[in-house]
Structure 1
Amino acid sequence: MKIAIIVNPLIPVPPEKYGGIERIVYMLIQELIAKGHDVTLYANERSKPGCALVGYHESDHYGLPDMIRINALTSKIAFKKFDVIHTFGRMSNIALLMLSKLPKVVSYQLQPTLSQVKKVIKFAREGSVHFTGCSDYISNQIVPYAPVTTIYNGVDTAEYTFTPAVADDAPLVFLGRIQKEKGTDIAIQTALATGRKLVIAGNVPDETIHQAYFEEKVKPFIDGKQVTYIGPVNNSQKNELLGAAAAFLMPVTWDEPFGIVMAEALACGTPVIGFKRGSVPEVVQHGVNGFLCDTREEMAAFAKDIPKINRADCRRIAEGKFSSDTIGNQYEELYKRMVAK
């Protein structure tokens, strides 16, 4: 098949450090190429996707001029003999393509804007659009209004080293953006309550609210002994960090759409202890590859049960549910169904 994939042009594909959607897009492209498909990516001009690239950009404050200019670009897809178009970006950037009979897959990696979903179904060529959600938590919001399939995010498990055992004093790990919604402070309090070491990795967003959170709730506890902050990490560092961890903490205080880092931890054989928010219960099988909890106190209690988890089960579940091969096969099957209509 000849496939056009679109992603918002904010950062390159693949991303150098953080960029969950861009990482998923790159992984999918590699899988599709390996299966013999012809892929063209519409993305940031600095992308290096390993396939044909059509670079484009948006202004800092997306507006009508951006929409008009980008639609002038993407509308040409209808005349280039593509079999299917798959967008991970703004639906407004393919507004004109909605009038085409060309099969279109729209993937939601974040909370769906249901008003946009309903508008697309109303105005798009009938039967030409199918949505995907990165979890049932996302898909279940769309299902009353449009056809949707859950296809989880995932990782190339070959890039993550399975660590079958770690030292008794192996640290807990928090990896992600340092902000209240991610629960960095809860991870710290969990470590303090259990006496375990905690390694924190990730970036502090530039916004004032996040900088203040770091200064008030995180930085005072960083002592370089029990609580260590190592900043952003690249793929190699992430692999080493997660593989050496006793457990990965996911104390989110919002409804996480997926959380790719959970799949990355499991690929290393590292169990996940997370709050029952959003998609976390779909990733964590309680007592099998980690633990689900509701409070900081429960998280600390389950941290004591980490040795009960078989790290081989963590890796097995990652390979079966969240591997790049699994995700690639699922998207390919969806494309085939769309094209066969």
Structure 2
Amino acid sequence: MKIALIVNPLIPVPPEQYGGIERVVYVLIRELIKMGHNVTLYANPNSQPGCKLMGYRESENYGLKDFIKINRLTSSLLFKNFDVVHTFGRMSNIASLMPFKQPKIVSYQLPPTISQVKKAVNIAAKNSLYFTACSHFIAGQISHIGKVTTIYNSVDMADYQFNAEVDADAPLVFLGRIQQEKGTAIAIEIALKTNKKLIIAGNIPAEQIHQQYFNEQVRPFIDQNQIKYIGPVNNSQKNELLGKACAMLMPVTWDEPFGIVMAEALACGTPVIGFNRGAVPEVVTNGSTGFVCSNINEMIEVVNNISTLSRSKCRQVAEEKFSSAVMATQYEQLYYRVSSS
């Protein structure tokens, strides 16, 4: 098949550090090429996706000029004989394609704007527009409006080394952006109350609200002994960090759409302890690959039960549900279905 993939051009594909969607698209491209498909990526000009690249940019503050410029670019897809156009970026960037029968897939990695979904469904040619969601939690917000398929995000299992055993004093890990809704301060509280070491990895967003959160609720507890902060990590550092952890904490205080870092942890054999928010209970099987908790007290209690979980089971579930090969096969099946409808 001839497939066009589109992502917003803010971060190259693959990303060097942070960039969940860009990493998902990169592994998807690799798998689709292995399957023999012809893939073209529309993305940041500095991308190195391993397929044909059509680079484009947008302004820091996306506006009407960007909309017009990008739709001029994407409208040309009508004349390039693509079997399917699949965007992980703004749906508005393929607005010019909506009235035509060109098969289109829009993938949601974040909660959808329902008014935009309704508008797109209304103007799209019949049986030409389809949606995917990274979790049932997200799919449920679209299913009453359009055709949506849940396809979980994935990791390349070859990038993550399974570690069957960890040291008795192995630390807890928090891996993600340092901001309130990710629960960094909660992770610190859990480590202190369970007398566990905690390694915090991730970037601090530049916005003042996040800087203040770090300075007031995170930095005062960092002693680089029990509570360590190591900054952003690349893929190889992430693999080592997760593989040597007794568990990864996911104390999110918002409805996490998927949380690819959970799949990365499971691929290393590391169980996940998270709050029952968003897609967390879809990724983590309570009592098997981790624990899904309702509050901080529950999370503190289950930290002491980590040794009852099977690291082999964590890896097995990652391979069965969250591997790049599984994800790509599901997208391929969808491509064939929409291109023949």
**Structure 2 matches for 1:226-265, cutoff 5 A?**
226-265=226-265
CA positional deviation for 1:118: 0.3
CA positional deviation for 1:102: 0.9
**Inter-partner Cα distance in structure 1 for 2:158 and 2:320:** 13
**Inter-partner Cα distance in structure 2 for 1:291 and 1:59:** 42
**Inter-partner Cα distance in structure 1 for 2:117 and 2:43:** 22
Q: Which residue of 2 aligns with 1:118?
A: 118
**Structure 2 matches for 1:160-171, cutoff 5 A?**
160-171=160-171
**Inter-partner Cα distance in structure 2 for 1:194 and 1:60:** 43
Q: Give ranges in structure 1 of 5+ residues lacking alignment.
A: none
Letter in structure 1 aligned against 2:243: G
Letter in structure 2 aligned against 1:255: D
Letter in structure 2 aligned against 1:99: P
**Structure 2 matches for 1:50-129, cutoff 5 A?**
50-129=50-129
Letter in structure 1 aligned against 2:264: E
Could you say what secondary structure the match of 2:261 adopts? Answer: helix
Deviation string, structure 1 residues 254-298 (Cα, Å, up to 9, x no partner): 000000000000000000000000000000101100001011111
Q: Which residue of 1 aligns with 2:307?
A: 307
The reply to whether residue 215 of structure 1 matches residue 230 of structure 2 is: no
Query: Deviating runs (4+, > 2 A) in structure 1?
Result: none
Could you say what secondary structure the match of 1:142 adopts? Answer: coil
| TM value normalised by structure 2 | 1.00
Deviation string, structure 1 residues 61-118 (Cα, Å, up to 9, x no partner): 1111111111111000010011000000111111111111111110000111111110
Q: Which residue of 2 aligns with 1:40?
A: 40
The reply to whether residue 187 of structure 1 matches residue 187 of structure 2 is: yes
Q: Which residue of 2 aligns with 1:277?
A: 277
Deviation string, structure 1 residues 204-246 (Cα, Å, up to 9, x no partner): 0000000000000000000011100000000000000000000
**Inter-partner Cα distance in structure 1 for 2:122 and 2:100:** 14
**Inter-partner Cα distance in structure 1 for 2:296 and 2:229:** 20
**Inter-partner Cα distance in structure 2 for 1:70 and 1:211:** 33
Could you say what secondary structure the match of 1:292 adopts? Answer: strand
Q: Give ranges in structure 2 of 5+ residues lacking alignment.
A: none
Q: Which residue of 2 aligns with 1:339?
A: 339
| TM value normalised by structure 1 | 1.00
Could you say what secondary structure the match of 2:97 adopts? Answer: helix
**Inter-partner Cα distance in structure 2 for 1:267 and 1:91:** 31
**Inter-partner Cα distance in structure 2 for 1:32 and 1:78:** 21
Letter in structure 1 aligned against 2:168: D
Could you say what secondary structure the match of 2:132 adopts? Answer: strand
**Inter-partner Cα distance in structure 2 for 1:91 and 1:149:** 17
**Inter-partner Cα distance in structure 2 for 1:294 and 1:208:** 30
Q: Which residue of 2 aligns with 1:27?
A: 27
CA positional deviation for 1:154: 1.0
Could you say what secondary structure the match of 1:263 adopts? Answer: helix
Deviation string, structure 1 residues 167-218 (Cα, Å, up to 9, x no partner): 1110000000000000000000000010010000000000000000000000
Q: Which residue of 2 aligns with 1:177?
A: 177
Could you say what secondary structure the match of 1:99 adopts? Answer: coil
RMSD of aligned alpha carbons: 0.5
Deviation string, structure 1 residues 112-136 (Cα, Å, up to 9, x no partner): 1111110010000011011000000
**Inter-partner Cα distance in structure 1 for 2:178 and 2:329:** 34
